[in-house]
Structure 1
Amino acid sequence: MKLNVTTLEGKDAGSIELSDAIFGLDPRADIIQRCVNWQLAKRQSGNHKAKGRAEIWRTGKKMYKQKGTGGARHGSARVPQFRGGGRAFGPVVRSHAFDLPKKVRALALKHALSAKAKDGGLIVIENANLEAAKTKALLGHFSGLGLTNALIIDGAEVHVGFAQAARNIPNIDVLPIQGINVYDILRRQKLVLTRAALDALEARFK
């Protein structure tokens, strides 16, 4: 698969051959969904907590006598039926994470990249360097490339000036190649890869 390469200023910088094993797959929604569910479940804090009847500080004395009142039989006031009592089967602090094999996660990333390439949402740029960390200048470059909602992936380290200029722009995410993930790829309309990011991806999946 061949794709044109541009510079950040919108100039032509040749072309590059993309690996069909990474960008040429027929996207499978089921594999991608499994990985997205795994990511979202893993980042849940799971710290919602409600007190059960054993944790309520309240007297355990029988509320009133068993018979002769005309009311229902009750013992402790800590039971869930009463205001101020413990909650039955309430949430507890726990981890929502579940396991997903590494091979499935790697395959899901390939399918997400292939989906972007298939629908025309993949852009390759020469590099993501910006000497002057000016948001206004970067917005001008983005408008020239037609980027309003994008995930930009650079090499092992993101250029400091580029990252500082991009952090105030809404709907623009900038990540190093180590941070590339299925969820962020899908939540943005465009995926922008630098040559360094492409080389790292091919080395990773070799």
Structure 2
Amino acid sequence: MKLKVQTLDAKAKGDIDLNDDVFGIEPRADILHRVVTWQREKARGTARPTRERSDVARTGKKFGNQKGGGTARHGDRAAPIFIGGGKAHGARLRDFNPSLNKKIRSLGLKMALSSKAKAGTLIVLEDLDLKAAKTAALKGQVGKLGFGKTTLVIDGDTVNDNFRMASANLVGINVMPAVGANVYDILKHETLVLTRAAVEKLEARFNG
């Protein structure tokens, strides 16, 4: 698959051959759903449990007469109504640690990249080099490049510092290095922007 390469000034910079094994496979909704569900579950923190009345170290001795005390007939200091007692219907320990085959995770990322290429919402840039970290200047360039309402920009090993700082105040633009590329973020954004370095890193990730 061939795609045109542009500069940040929206000028043509030749073509790039995208590996069909990475950018040209047919997306499957069931695979993408499995990977996204796995990602979101892995992001959930372990729920901290609370101590219920059976977990609290309090005396079980009856601390008042059955009759004549003028109070209710209590028999357990660990009851939820007392200070220091256990919590009624407290949170239980829930550990979210699902597993998903590495082959499926890899296939899901390929399908996410392929879905953007197939939909025509994949843009390849030569690089993200900016002379200065000026948000106003970058905003004008982004308009010419045809970014969508939400755009994910992926660079090579690291994101260009000037581009990262200039885009920080632009709503709907998120940046990350190639190592952070994932199915959920790619599908969540309307447009995917890759640099040449990012394409090389992603293709090497699957071929290595």
TM score, norm. by length of structure 2: 0.84
Q: What's 1:149 paired with?
A: 150
Output the amino acid matched with 1:6. Q
Show CA shifts across 1:108-149 (max 9, x none): 100111111111211111111112011111111111112231
1:189 and 2:187 aligned? no
Q: Distance in 2 between matches of 1:120 and 1:76?
A: 68
1:137 and 2:133 aligned? no
> Do the aligned partners of residues 177 and 75 (structure 1) sit closer, same or farther apart at CA in structure 2, a change above 3 Å counting?
same
Q: CA deviation at 1:78?
A: 3.2
Q: What's 1:108 paired with?
A: 108
Q: Distance in 1 between matches of 2:78 and 2:109?
A: 50
Output the amino acid matched with 2:191. K
- Structure 2 counterpart SS, 1:144: helix
Moved segments of 4+, more than 4 Å: 55-59, 63-67, 82-85
Q: CA deviation at 1:89?
A: 5.9
> Do the aligned partners of residues 33 and 14 (structure 1) sit closer, same or farther apart at CA in structure 2, a change above 3 Å counting?
same
- Asked whether the 8 Å contact 1:131–1:162 carries over to 2, the reply is no
Unaligned runs of at least 5 residues, structure 1: 68-72
Q: Distance in 1 between matches of 2:17 and 2:165?
A: 31
Show CA shifts across 1:73-113 (max 9, x none): 97435346x58753466324553122222211111100111
1:161 and 2:162 aligned? yes
Output the amino acid matched with 2:128. A
Q: Distance in 1 between matches of 2:95 and 2:18?
A: 39
Unaligned runs of at least 5 residues, structure 2: 68-72
- Structure 1 counterpart SS, 2:194: strand
Q: What's 1:50 paired with?
A: 50
Q: CA deviation at 1:46?
A: 2.1
- Structure 2 counterpart SS, 1:175: strand
1:36 and 2:36 aligned? yes
- Structure 1 counterpart SS, 2:123: strand
Output the amino acid matched with 1:181. N
> 5 Å matches for 1:20-35?
20-35=20-35
Which is worse superposed, 58-67 or 15-24? 58-67
Q: CA deviation at 1:30?
A: 1.4
Output the amino acid matched with 1:101. N
Which is worse superposed, 43-52 or 161-170? 43-52
Identity %: 49
> Do the aligned partners of residues 62 and 119 (structure 1) sit closer, same or farther apart at CA in structure 2, a change above 3 Å counting?
farther
Q: Distance in 2 between matches of 1:83 and 1:145?
A: 65
Q: Distance in 2 between matches of 1:190 and 1:89?
A: 46
Output the amino acid matched with 1:96. F
- Structure 2 counterpart SS, 1:205: helix
- Structure 2 counterpart SS, 1:153: strand
Output the amino acid matched with 1:141. Q
